[in-house]
Amino acid sequence: MPHLWRLLWPCFRADGNTPSPHIPLHPGLRQQQLGAREPRKLQSGNWTDSIAQHIATLNDALSAAKMSNPTTQTYQWPSKTVKTDYPLIDNDPHFMRVVRYARTSDYVHGVAAGVAGPGLLYAMERFAPSQVGKGGFAQAMRLAGFIGLTGGFLYYYQRSILRFYGMSENAREVQMDMREMVDKVKAGEPLYGESKLTPAMQGVAARQSRYSALFFGVLPWFNFVNHSQHGVDTAKYYQQAERELEAERLAKGSS
Q: Is residue 172 part of a domain?
A: yes
Q: Report the distance separating Cα 49 and Cα 37, nearest Å.
A: 19
User: How does residue 9 score in pLDDT terms, banded at 50, 70 and 90?
Assistant: very low
Q: Is residue 9 part of a domain?
A: no
What is the maximal distance between C-alpha atoms in the chain?
Answer: 134
Mean pLDDT of all residues in 34-53: 57
pLDDT above 70 (res 30): no
Q: Is residue 42 part of a domain?
A: no
Mean of the per-residue pLDDT values of the chain:
81
User: Which domain covers residue 164, as residue numbers?
Assistant: 95-254
By mean pLDDT, which of 27-41, 110-124, 150-164, 194-208 is the weakest? Answer: 27-41
User: How does residue 135 score in pLDDT terms, banded at 50, 70 and 90?
Assistant: confident
Q: pLDDT for 70-94, tens place per residue?
A: 554 444 556 777 889 999 999 999 9
Mean pLDDT of all residues in 117-126: 92
pLDDT above 60 (res 23): no
pTM of this prediction? 0.67
Q: Is residue 45 part of a domain?
A: no
Q: What is the pLDDT of residue 39?
A: 47
Report yes or no: 163 and 136 within 8 Å, Cβ to Cβ: no
Q: Is residue 86 part of a domain?
A: no
Q: Is residue 64 part of a domain?
A: no
pLDDT over 90 percentage in the chain = 57
Q: What is the pLDDT of residue 201?
A: 93
Q: What is the pLDDT of residue 53?
A: 76
Q: Higher pLDDT residue, 80 or 247?
A: 247
Q: pLDDT for 52-65, tens place per residue?
A: 776 777 777 667 66
pLDDT above 90 (res 18): no
Domain count, the chain: 1
C-alpha dihedral, 241 to 246 to 249 to 253, nearest 10°: -160
Q: Report the distance separating Cα 43 and Cα 128, nearest Å.
A: 98
Q: Is residue 35 part of a domain?
A: no
Q: Is residue 194 part of a domain?
A: yes
DSSP string, 19-63: BPTTSPPPHHHHHHHHHHHHHHHHHHHHHHHHHHHHHHHHHHHHH
Q: What is the pLDDT of residue 57?
A: 77
Which of 250, 186, 198 shows the shortest CA–CA distance to 227?
A: 198
Q: What is the pLDDT of residue 237?
A: 95
Q: Higher pLDDT residue, 146 or 70?
A: 146
Q: What is the pLDDT of residue 55?
A: 76
Q: Higher pLDDT residue, 254 or 198?
A: 198
Q: What is the pLDDT of residue 132?
A: 83
